Amino acid sequence: MGTKEKALALIREVGVVPIVRASSPEDAFRAAEAIVAGGVGIAEITFTVPNATRVMERVAERYADRVLLGAGTVLDPESCRAALLAGAEFIVTPALDVRVIEVARRYGKPCFPGALTPTEVLAAWQAGADMVKVFPCGPVGGPKYIRALKGPFPQIELVPTGGVNLETAADFIRAGAAAVAAGGELVDPKALREGRLDAISENARRFVEAVRRARQEGALGQAG
């Protein structure tokens, strides 16, 4: 299994992609630390974080063997390349830019472009997306929208973002999501500002547990 396949396998297995958005590089690094401490070996650092590539470098250096590092809010091919050189192992975009997918593929890394409509989801998949980030998912129907998309697109792995919290994570998984991505609901900005990293670690654990339970219930339902 190659590194790209291993990355995808881990995301499928864990089922949760914690998104780190923070107002300072130090807060972003602390958030990543808290996620790792919570036992979740995946963290996505967004380009909205000041000096985001430096944060990625620090996380990659510190936790190389303990975290699958992603870059989020990647808006152009130049940012994509910079993130990959900083140690990012997967790329996430808020909207579809085929050029970003092409750069990620050139480096052998997974790319999850953002899409919303059926047309965009199909276009992203046809352009080589490994999974498709459905964003913003909450305002357009949440889990019901994912279930609707999976009807015509059972072969496309969807990662809903926006509207994912501890109450809805299980519903998204039951609706057919391959994984869920969560930002502020998991990396609580208030807890981060107050230095309560244990709260973020606990949140991360609870998200993973919610996904695990939903999958277990689904497997039991199919067996029955």
Per-residue pLDDT at 42: 98
What are the tens digits of pLDDT across the range 8-30?
999 999 999 999 999 999 999 99
Per-residue pLDDT at 64: 86
- pTM exceeds cut of 0.85: yes
Closest-CA residue to 203 (of 175, 182, 217, 177): 182
What are the tens digits of pLDDT across the range 173-213?
999 999 999 999 999 999 999 999 999 999 999 999 999 99
In the numeric block, which tokens belong to residue 43? Answer: 């963290």
Per-residue pLDDT at 1: 73
Per-domain residue ranges for the chain? 3-223
CATH architecture of 3-223: Alpha-Beta Barrel (3.20)
Q: What is the mean pLDDT of residues 72-99?
A: 98
What are the tens digits of pLDDT across the range 70-80?
999 999 999 99
Residue 222 has pLDDT above 90, yes or no: no
Residue 218 has pLDDT above 80, yes or no: no
CB 104 within 8 A of CB 80: yes
Active-site residues, by number, are 44, 133
What are the tens digits of pLDDT across the range 111-158?
999 999 999 999 999 999 999 999 999 999 999 999 999 999 999 999
